[in-house]
Amino acid sequence: MCSPLISFNKKHINSFVALLSATLFIHPIVHAVSFNIPKSVIDKGIMLKFPLEKKFVNLENPVTLFNPANQKIEICGDWKVKLVQQKGSFCVDFHPYWNKQRNDIEISSVNLLKLTANEGREVSSSIAGLLNLTLLSLLDGTSIYHVSDFDGKFISNIEIKTDYLIIDF
């Protein structure tokens, strides 16, 4: 009869079961892990998406501002309508949204804050309507950061700070 290479006695088995039980008992108490995404990384992700174009409207030169007070990110930039040769600036804010299927942090719940024409001209109502619809549809759902396929499945919260996002797992 062959003897096993590793022999377990009752003391070893009891120690292992005690350690396993303690680990399973403590596990729910462990706090979530988080990591920070610097504003510069988010800015780069947004810059890669611009210029955006739809229905003869071009959006370009985005600049971001993180607003921790209302947990929103603001994007300001320039707009241009090619057909009528008008241009100006815009500002929108949005809540970052976690898209679990794509493992992306996306622009969501876009709100138009400001829409102006260059040289102090008023934006005509038809151009304002076109720009409003275009801004919202162009930006909503745009990915600003991709998380690895493994890590992305466990994200539980996104918190905005002045210079970074906190991603909780």
Per-residue pLDDT tens for 140-159? 899 999 887 666 567 888 99
Does residue 93 lie in a domain region? yes
Q: Exposure pattern of 137-160 as b/e (b: 16+ CB <10 Å)?
A: ebbeebbbbebeeeebeebeebeb
Strands in the chain per DSSP E = 34-38, 52-54, 57-67, 72-81, 86-99, 104-117, 143-146, 157-160, 164-168
List pLDDT tens digits, range 47-70.
998 888 877 788 999 999 999 999
Please tell me the pTM assigned to this model: 0.73
Does residue 149 lie in a domain region? yes
Does residue 8 lie in a domain region? no
Does residue 121 lie in a domain region? yes
State the CATH number of the domain containing residue 56.
3.15.10.40
Element holding 16 (H helix, E strand): helix 10-26
Does residue 1 lie in a domain region? no
- Give mean pLDDT, residues 22-51: 74
Does residue 75 lie in a domain region? yes
Domain, as residue range, for 143: 34-168
